[in-house]
Structure 1
């Protein structure tokens, strides 16, 4: 069981960390049962020692793009063999920013299937491959969005019984400038938001007028915003809608999560 910490009071089941942004060893101080580590290129891949230390007390999941050399189950999968046995995986198609031109051309579906044959407990990231991910039957790892609660309810209503994990950038404050600095750029990349934003608008705390209004509204659609109690109301609603695991990404950095 989690202690009465900020993470627990917010109703988060897990946290997601970006190794390019933080010292992963600090995550050992966060009383959480599961840590998901994002992939930000081979230069930021955590060492075997770091992963082993984290996995001593916490369930650790490492995002592994199935099209990337080193994690490609139909090609070079040498990095998989280097992972500690205690570390699980999140299988994703992979963000184009971290793929070479050759890797972007590789077929996704057969690689997801092949990876799940060797790691049937892995989660599957749904971004850009929702139907492929659903077809695998593995735990679905979805990004929080405006219609997430309604879509979860619809899936459960038609009898879907699989595990659904939600990735949600989390900002432990209502302060508008802090919210925009933390998630403004992230939400600006969501397609509905990008269409609504004025051209060349600022996306951080310096945003004004229409851009600021759009970004602040979108932040509450695509992220968890507020103090721990306010966020708990949101996570309770998502759990009730059908989410089995809610993974908060500390968009302000780790410090607010250490309290």
Structure 2
């Protein structure tokens, strides 16, 4: 029987994404990936500088940094950005509203992304809702897996885009449908097309039933990588054939699933 690490390698996933609210990011050193992305979940959860420096020395580390957030604003307060290790790369994002106050949410995104890319030309830029602005920066693109990803990647490559494309997706290495929905059902339910298709007040985890379960079971395969290692590996291969260079997997059941 393959170990969790061996199964993770079998998927063909290139990088792991870790959330500091959920785990000690130092676990990255025990995972079978050379590239690590640390998500931003608010200033209070930003890992300490020495921890980030150690990780950056051991792997290709990238930090998700919201350009509208105070402390990371290249056109304003960039005091927190200045504390990040020079060796750490960036994933530049607008920032989720849950981690921004009203003043931060009102800031213009495009000029801040442009300024940040000037400082970090090797950054990945993106996330949901700012695709055109991200593409205009000329930097590597950071995409979220969705039902249109294969078509979108193919269109970018057909149009002549030759830059880096990194694709982010939650991962559940399991066959059990209840386990899959427990891990990524709620995440999937927040996507617009899924939210509109779900019955009102429906459960979005493994307890979902009827129409809600049908919708979620189909949709999780659009927005996440789920199944055994072979199944996920086949899907990753399809995404790379469509144009993705790097697939970044977030272990939705915790990093132990990759260890």
Tell me how far 1:256 sits from its aligned partner.
1.4
Quote the residue 1:254 is aligned against: 255
Q: Cα deviation per residue 1:13-40 (whole Å; 9 max; x = unaligned)?
A: 1011110011111121002011011110
CA contact (8 A) 2:32 2:258 kept: no
Tell me how far 1:5 sits from its aligned partner.
2.4
CA contact (8 A) 2:75 2:112 kept: yes
Equivalent residue runs for 1:7-156 within 5 Å? 7-156=8-157
Tell me how far 1:147 sits from its aligned partner.
1.4
State the number of aligned residues: 255
Residue 232 of structure 1 pairs with residue 227 of structure 2: no
Q: Distance in 1 between matches of 2:32 and 2:101?
A: 37
Q: Cα deviation per residue 1:207-245 (whole Å; 9 max; x = unaligned)?
A: 111111111110000000111111110001111110010
Query: For 2:188, what is the secondary structure of its paired residue?
Result: helix
Query: For 1:5, what is the secondary structure of its paired residue?
Result: helix
Q: Distance in 1 between matches of 2:246 and 2:22?
A: 23
TM-score (norm 2): 0.96
TM-score (norm 1): 0.96
Q: Distance in 2 between matches of 1:217 and 1:50?
A: 39
Which has the higher mean CA deviation after the structures are superposed, 239-248 or 153-162? 153-162
Q: Distance in 2 between matches of 1:27 and 1:153?
A: 32
Unaligned runs of 5+ in 1: none
Residue 191 of structure 1 pairs with residue 189 of structure 2: no
Off by >2 Å, runs of 4+ in structure 1: 4-7
Query: For 1:107, what is the secondary structure of its paired residue?
Result: coil
Quote the residue 1:204 is aligned against: 205
Query: For 2:58, what is the secondary structure of its paired residue?
Result: coil
Quote the residue 1:167 is aligned against: 168
